[in-house]
Amino acid sequence: MDLQLTGKTIIITGGSDGLGAATAKTLAAEGANVVIAARGLEKLTSVAASIGGQALAVQTDVTNPVHLENLVTQTMTRFGRIDAIVNNAGRAAAKPFESITDLEWQEDLDMKFYAAIRLSRLAVPHMRAVGGGSIVHILATGGKTPGANSMPSTVSRAAGMALMKAMSKDLGKDNIRVNGVLIGLVESDQWVRRAAQNNQSLENLYAKLPLENNIPLARVGQAAEFADFIAFLVSTRAAYISGCAINFDGGMSPAF
């Protein structure tokens, strides 16, 4: 199936590592121009260099509104259009309720919620100008099933789901589709760091996670599988899919 992504321009936040970097590589291989955004310049430029001329790296802290304006300006200057954005930048944040400070709540919401609002708001006029587009908020299954010691992340993700649904209603008339992808457990650099912190081999960690979390498919997901799914979702092959909070979790979540 030809995803018809040639010549399209897609912004991926958190594109320097893990799932964002895998997504950028897959989208570029499908012919899209990709703009990757993250704070650390070294990894960002190295991922862009591995992709080549179709990639633009823009050093960005998504919690800074001025950085997001710069991201959109640089995208338009280089590629002249925006067809899709993948709001992917994030990190794990899960603690007991009473131990979370106001600052930690604010930081989590700034990164996972306000960043998606701000970047989407900046990109929408450019998508409208090219006749439509696709916005994907990367979320987590905990947004549907928040458990003990899962905040602030699960609450930010639930807010992201409501944002996605409401945006899909507002923007459908402009042929702009908005969806959420709720991740369970997928191989990425955050698990590489976790294994190193715990003095554990990565293979061990990936073998334990499906057992501890009762994943029906009995394995964690692969970054390339995630990237393939996102490539489909941003493409016009998914032209009638909007307003969905789709689990990407090997069947792990009890909620659909």
List contacts with ligand NAP (CB under 6 A).
13-14, 16-20, 37-40, 60-63, 88-91, 111, 138, 140, 183, 185-186, 188-190
Closest approach of ligand NAP to the CB of residue 46, in Å = 11
In the bound state with ligand NAP, the residue whose beta carbon lies nearer, of 174 and 189, is 189
In the bound state with ligand NAP, the residue whose beta carbon lies nearer, of 43 and 128, is 43
According to DSSP, the β-strands at 55-59 and 133-140 are unpaired
Closest approach of ligand NAP to the CB of residue 88, in Å = 5
Closest approach of ligand NAP to the CB of residue 7, in Å = 25
Closest approach of ligand NAP to the CB of residue 92, in Å = 6
The DSSP code for 185 is -
Cβ-Cβ contacts under 8 Å for 129 (sequence gap 6 or more): 81
Residue 29 buriedness (CB in 10 A; 0-12 / 13-18 / 19+):
middle
- Cβ pair 116, 87 in contact under 8 A: yes
Output the CA–CA distances (angstroms, integers) from residue 224 to 49, 52, 92, 216, 227, in the order listed: 19, 19, 20, 20, 5
Query: In 3-state terms, what secondary structure has residue 10?
Result: strand
Select from 90, 81, 85 the least CA-distant residue to 36.
85
In the bound state with ligand NAP, the residue whose beta carbon lies nearer, of 64 and 236, is 64
Six-digit token pair at 26?
A: 């897959």
In the bound state with ligand NAP, the residue whose beta carbon lies nearer, of 3 and 68, is 68
Closest approach of ligand NAP to the CB of residue 129, in Å = 25
In the bound state with ligand NAP, the residue whose beta carbon lies nearer, of 189 and 228, is 189
